[in-house]
Amino acid sequence: MKPIRCIAVDDEPLALALLADNIRKVPGLELVRTCDDAFDALETLQQEADTGTPVDLMFLDVQMPGLTGTQLLEGLTHRPLVILVTAYEQYALTGYDLNVLDYLLKPVAFTRFIQAVQKARQALNQPETPAPVSTSAAPSSDDFFVNADYSLVRVQVDTVRYVEGLKDYVKIYTTSQVRPILTRMTLKAMEERLPAPRFMRIHRSFIVDCNRIEVIRKQQVVVGGTAIPVSDQYAPLLFDALRLSGRPL
């Protein structure tokens, strides 16, 4: 089966490195080039087409200086399949207007990346990609990246104890770091990223890993030695989930 030839286009070095890393992880994808602006991408597309080996799939950032991702697309007569990558949900509508294959919201979770790749495979009439195989310990497919301390930081889901919401920010408490990871994200958005039913919202300000609950009381639980409140709204859901899992209450 012919590999899917890809380019990644993003003016942010960390985001570009993450895209490239994700492409390399997936069997059947070939990373032709990383481009840090739309002009470089335009030149690469032309060069590859001229050599008879055109690019099949382009991961394209929307907001870039000089020439934006959408402006690049509008100027292309013949273009590959396109997956937009953006930090802003409103660009999803722009993507549909431009007839792109999919759009990924930064920071890109690897599971979501795989879903987009499967769409590309279907569009190219290729079978779905099997899960990447590694002889070394691989990150969980549920892991994802967040912006923290001016970097993209991997959140290893298996290490998460609980998450605390602080308006537009969350603190992620893990077993692998002394200090919590602080990132700009709503608790609702974090809830959508963490796998259920293992992770549950138990309070307007807290999500916990149910497997790490050490003590259960009527209005609080203890996780990693920390008492966390349980609100009346979420208590029935939590206790029902624990009963179904066989935990005595």
Cα(61)–Cα(83) distance, integer angstroms: 9
Domain boundary among 123, 145, 164: 123
> What residues contact residue 52 under an 8 Å CB cut-off, 6+ apart?
none
CATH code, domain with 209: 2.40.50.1020
- Longest Cα–Cα distance of the chain, Å, equals 69
**Domain enclosing residue 202, as ranges:** 154-244
Sign of the dihedral defined by the CA atoms of residues 154, 157, 160, 164, in that order: positive
133 within some domain: no
On whether both 104 and 167 belong to a single domain, the answer is: no
As a 3-state breakdown, the chain gives helix, strand, coil percent values, each rounded to 5, of 30, 30, 40
130 within some domain: no
Domain boundary among 123, 146, 162: 123
Question: pLDDT 10s per residue in the chain (249 long)?
Answer: 789 999 999 999 989 999 999 999 999 999 999 999 999 999 999 999 999 999 999 999 998 999 999 899 888 878 899 999 988 766 555 545 577 888 888 888 888 899 899 989 988 886 555 544 443 344 556 788 888 876 778 889 999 999 999 988 999 999 988 889 999 889 999 998 898 888 999 999 999 999 999 988 878 999 989 999 999 999 888 888 777 655 554
On whether both 119 and 158 belong to a single domain, the answer is: no
Cα(24)–Cα(62) distance, integer angstroms: 22
Our count of domains for the chain comes to 2
CB neighbour class for 237 (10 Å; exposed up to 12, middle 13-18, buried from 19): middle
Q: pLDDT value at position 60? A: 95
CATH code, domain with 8: 3.40.50.2300
On whether both 81 and 174 belong to a single domain, the answer is: no
Domain boundary among 101, 123, 145: 123
Cα(154)–Cα(145) distance, integer angstroms: 4
- Which 3 state secondary structure label does DSSP give 160? strand
189: enclosing H helix or E strand: helix 187-193
Structure tokens at 77: 């007569």
Sign of the dihedral defined by the CA atoms of residues 187, 190, 194, 196, in that order: positive
On whether both 159 and 76 belong to a single domain, the answer is: no
On whether both 159 and 103 belong to a single domain, the answer is: no
